[in-house]
Structure 1
Amino acid sequence: MQTLRLILTDKFIWLLSGAVLLATLVPVQGQAKEIAAILFNAGIFCVFLLHGIRLERHEVRAGLGNIRLQATIFFWVFGVMLAAGLLLSKAVDQLLPADVALGFLFLGTLPSTVQSATSYCAIARGNVAASVVASAFINLVGVVLSPLLFALLASAAGVEITTDTIVKLASILLLPFVLGQIFQPWLRPWVMRYKDLTGWIDRGAIALAVYVSFSAAIIAGMWSRVSGTEFLWLAAALLAWLGAAFGGTWLLGGWLDFARGDRKTLLFSGAQKSVAIGAPLAAIIFSPERAGLVILPLIFYHLAQLFLSAPLAVHLAKD
Structure 2
Amino acid sequence: MNAIFRRLRIDTYILAIMGMVAIAAILPARGAGKDVLDIIVHAAIALLFFLYGARISRQAIWAGILHWRLQSLVFATTFVLFPLLGFGIAKLAAGHLDPGLVTGLMFVSLLPSTVQSSIAFTSIARGNVPAALCCASLSNLAGVVITPLLATMVLSAGGGGMSLDAVGEIALQILLPFVIGQFARPLIGEWLERRRMLTMAVDRGSILLVVYSAFSAGVVAGIWGRVTPQSLALVIVLDLVLLAIVLAATTAASRLLRFTTEDEVAIVFCGSKKSMASGLPMANIIFPASAVGLIVLPLMLFHQMQLMVCAALARRYAQRAKDPAPAMTATAAGAPVRAHRR
- TM-score, scaled relative to structure 1: 0.92
**RCO higher in 1 or 2 (8 Å CA, sep ≥ 6)?**
1
Match of 2:171 in 1: 170
- Amino acid of the structure 2 residue aligned with 1:72: L
Q: Report if the CA contact (8 A) 1:121-1:128 is conserved.
A: yes
Match of 2:137 in 1: 136
Match of 2:162 in 1: 161
**What is the aligned length?**
317
- Amino acid of the structure 2 residue aligned with 1:133: C
> How far 1:196 sits from its partner (Å)?
1.0
Q: Gaps spanning 5+ residues in structure 1: where? A: none
1:72 lines up with 2:101 in the alignment: no
> How far 1:7 sits from its partner (Å)?
7.4
Q: Which has the larger radius of gyration?
A: 2
Point out the structure with the larger helix share.
1
- Amino acid of the structure 1 residue aligned with 2:267: L
Structure 1 residues 267 and 147, CA, compared in 2 at 3 Å: closer, same or farther? Answer: same
Match of 1:145 in 2: 146
In structure 2, the residue corresponding to 1:317 is in which secondary structure? helix
**Alignment deviations for residues 212-243 of structure 1 (CA, whole Å, 9 cap, x no partner):** 11111122223311111111111111122122
- Amino acid of the structure 1 residue aligned with 2:225: S
- Amino acid of the structure 2 residue aligned with 1:48: F
Q: Report if the CA contact (8 A) 2:113-2:274 is conserved.
A: yes
> How far 1:81 sits from its partner (Å)?
0.5
Match of 1:221 in 2: 222
Structure 1 residues 76 and 18, CA, compared in 2 at 3 Å: closer, same or farther? Answer: same
Structure 1 residues 158 and 79, CA, compared in 2 at 3 Å: closer, same or farther? Answer: same
> How far 1:155 sits from its partner (Å)?
4.7
Q: Report if the CA contact (8 A) 1:82-1:105 is conserved.
A: yes
Distance 1:293 1:43 in 2: 21
1:243 lines up with 2:244 in the alignment: yes
1:204 lines up with 2:234 in the alignment: no
> How far 1:70 sits from its partner (Å)?
0.6
Structure 1 residues 81 and 6, CA, compared in 2 at 3 Å: closer, same or farther? Answer: farther
Q: Report if the CA contact (8 A) 2:50-2:181 is conserved.
A: yes
Range that drifts further, 77-86 or 235-244: 235-244
In structure 2, the residue corresponding to 1:161 is in which secondary structure? coil
Range that drifts further, 163-172 or 5-14: 5-14
Q: Report if the CA contact (8 A) 1:217-1:293 is conserved.
A: yes
1:42 lines up with 2:43 in the alignment: yes
Structure 1 residues 20 and 309, CA, compared in 2 at 3 Å: closer, same or farther? Answer: farther
> How far 1:9 sits from its partner (Å)?
7.6
Distance 2:211 2:9 in 1: 21
> How far 1:156 sits from its partner (Å)?
9.6
Q: Report if the CA contact (8 A) 1:96-1:230 is conserved.
A: yes
**Alignment deviations for residues 15-46 of structure 1 (CA, whole Å, 9 cap, x no partner):** 33322232223222222212221121111122
Distance 2:74 2:222 in 1: 38
> How far 1:54 sits from its partner (Å)?
1.8
Match of 1:277 in 2: 278
- Amino acid of the structure 1 residue aligned with 2:65: L
Distance 1:98 1:9 in 2: 30
Distance 2:198 2:156 in 1: 41
Match of 2:190 in 1: 189
Structure 1 residues 6 and 82, CA, compared in 2 at 3 Å: closer, same or farther? Answer: farther
Range that drifts further, 227-236 or 116-125: 116-125
Q: Report if the CA contact (8 A) 1:110-1:273 is conserved.
A: yes
Match of 2:304 in 1: 303
Cα RMSD between the aligned structures? 2.1
Q: Report if the CA contact (8 A) 1:99-1:294 is conserved.
A: yes
Q: Gaps spanning 5+ residues in structure 2: where? A: 322-342
Q: Report if the CA contact (8 A) 1:53-1:183 is conserved.
A: yes
Q: Report if the CA contact (8 A) 1:63-1:133 is conserved.
A: yes
Amino-acid identity (%): 35
> How far 1:116 sits from its partner (Å)?
1.8
Match of 1:83 in 2: 84
Match of 2:328 in 1: none
- Amino acid of the structure 1 residue aligned with 2:115: V
1:119 lines up with 2:141 in the alignment: no
Range that drifts further, 163-172 or 63-72: 163-172
Distance 2:255 2:282 in 1: 34
